[in-house]
Every structure is written in C-alpha cells, then in structure tokens.
Amino acid sequence: MESVNTKSWVAYPTNNHFPIENFPFGSFVHPTTGITQCCTRVGDWVIDLAWLESEGILAENGKHWAALNSEGKRVFNHKFNNGFIDLGKEVWHETRLAL
C-alpha cells in the first residue's frame, strides 16, 4: 500500500489520542435522530460514516466504495462496523485515505 502524507482540515492538539493517522472506527448515537450508527473520529470531532457513505462521498475517493455504491450496498448505516470490518484491510486503508 502506498505511503502518503496526510493532512487534516480538522484542527486538533498534537497530543490528541485521535490524530488523522489513527482513525478509530466505532459507533455513536446521533444527537438529532437518536439512531446509533457507525462513525470515526478526528480530534474531538465525530465523523458520521453513514452520512458520508449515503452521500457517495466515500465512493468519490476509492475504487471499493465506488463499486459498493454502484451496487447500492451500505455498510455504515448499521449500529456496528461488522460489515465494514468484513471488507478487509485494503478497504480499511482506502477508507482512511478517503477520509
């Protein structure tokens, strides 16, 4: 897998546990809808992966996501990341690059 210099538009302290190099994948309860869905985090910001996926934003930045999007498949509109984890390390890496 290629190495890239990553840069975030999200400001966070250098000692933060969730820098751009360490995207954790988890779940959160949406404050407006109360629905639990998949997310990641940069600094103190929660990133709604279900929304990014539904808007096709991930598909614009990765071959696997483009294929999944064209098939109408969604892996992040669930409470847990099992479907995403099942896609394997190559997709995890691609997702981190897209984010």
Band of the pLDDT at 19, cuts 50, 70, 90? Answer: low
In a domain, 59, yes or no: yes
φ/ψ of residue 88, rounded to 5? 95, 170
User: How many domains does one find in the chain?
Assistant: 1
Q: For residue 93, is it within any domain?
A: yes
The residue segments making up the domain with residue 93 are 25-98
Q: What is the pLDDT, as a whole number, of residue 17?
A: 65
The two structure tokens encoding residue 44: 């103190």
- Cα separation, 31 vs 82, in Å, equals 22
Name the band, by pLDDT with cuts 50, 70 and 90, for residue 77: confident
Check residue 67 and give its pLDDT.
78
User: Are the CB atoms for 19 and 43 separated by under 8 Å?
Assistant: yes
29-65: per-residue pLDDT in tens? 999 999 999 998 877 788 899 998 888 888 887 788 7
Q: pLDDT digits over 86-98, tens only?
A: 988 888 888 888 8
